[in-house]
Structure 1
Amino acid sequence: MMELVEPVWAFAKHLVTGLGFLTIFVLVYIQVTPHKEVALIRAGNGAAALGLLGAVVGFSIALSRAIEVSTVLYEAATWAAIALAAQIGAQFIAQLMFPKLYTAIEENNWAAAIVKAGTAIAIGMVNAACMTP
């Protein structure tokens, strides 16, 4: 029984840390995007929902790798913070490349949402691949 306690405790600590960073990411992300994603989603804007979901998935890919390569909890937290910064930065770059991206999403333009979501997922995958222990 004792040999099970330590891995379960490590799992719980990493899960709580991961969920905490995921929550922080969403809170930061919805503050830095130029439109009000939560209000748009509540109003039925599917493009806004897809854009936010892509960002969450992209961050989660990098976050899962951060947890995987870390030997101690603070290392996972450090990689998670780097992943968060990379995802936020990627959205600013997407906005520079596509200046009307957020306006299009506000207008429920699915093509714009696909670009936004795809960018976030791609950055998350590259970010995850670059994390080394």
Structure 2
Amino acid sequence: MIRKANAVWQGTGKEGKGVLTTQSGVLSHTQYSFNTRFEDGIGTNPEELVAAAHAGCFAMKLSFNLTGAGFPPKVLDVQGEIKMEEGTIIESRLILKATVPGIDQDTFLAQVKDAEANCPISRLLKTTIVVDSTLTV
């Protein structure tokens, strides 16, 4: 399986601008710039997209894990946060609020730990990964 995206940048790093387009078309000439990356401009940025990708990947892997263990989740709400310092991503934090009927805390945490280590985006990132989780049964 191959997934594709395209970035087109015009101009300098600070004054320039770019657009991102994904194979699926969900992003289609979506704006990004210095302002959207380092300030509060309108558009997206690479770190925001990594946060979304990590949150989505983790949620899906955890759902597979929990279902395989006999505890299909009702809701997995995952917020992704990318922390960047001096031009380097130093942490990806996932904040999980899960509703999983019938599961005990130890089984839940084991499945979370596996998803944290083994979702494809976690395996791609070479940074600290932290998962803060809250379980409702």
Tell me if TM exceeds 0.5: no
- The structure in which a higher percent of residues are helix is 1
Greater relative contact order structure (CA < 8 Å, 6+ sep): 1
Going by fraction, where is strand more abundant, 1 or 2?
Answer: 2
